Structure 1
Amino acid sequence: MEYRYLGRSGLKVSVLTMGTMTFGGSQKIGNTSPADAARQVDLCLEAGINLYDTANVYNAGVSEEILGDILKENGRREKALIATKVRFKMGDGPND
């Protein structure tokens, strides 16, 4: 896998990123089960992909929970970099 520095952070990120939009979904955009998501993440880690993209709106935050569980379960959290972004409200409250 080829890596590049992420700006001046000193972090080396893989040139490929794994997207998690479909993890735990039940929508037309995708519905990757937790078991299938774990297999995909494992394959990416084995290939040297260390950057994972998430967002609070990917299945109402479920994709982030699934990714966190996968990385915690297989003990590879320290080998992964997680990029996220925030968009749209998640609930009815002023801080949701």
Structure 2
Amino acid sequence: MKPGYVYILTNKNNTTLYVGVTVNLGERIQQHKNKHDKKSFTARYNVDKLVYYEAFQEIGDAIAREKQIKAGNRAKKIALIEKKNPDWEDLT
């Protein structure tokens, strides 16, 4: 199987969060930054700042982790981000 990544994006004011999963993190983040799909959630809300990611050896594990993160509330997502990236810097 392919490796995978789960990631969290936000907007410039850190007010909107988006959780996603991909097999190619660099390419996927560029798609968000370039607003590849103009009607997507991330394009409409200018969500393109990478603030958190995890790498997995298999995409299935990344998908399972994505579901786990999405099931949590906003406070849990913020705690996850601030543990690894307390200043909310763009990791790209």
Q: Same fold (TM over 0.5)?
A: no
- Relative contact order (alpha carbons < 8 A, sep ≥ 6): 1 or 2 greater? 2
Q: For the pair shown, which has the larger CA radius of gyration, 1 or 2?
A: 1
User: Which category describes the TM-score, using the shorter chain as reference length?
Assistant: under 0.3
Which structure shows the bigger proportion of residues in strand conformation? Answer: 2
**More helix per residue:** 2
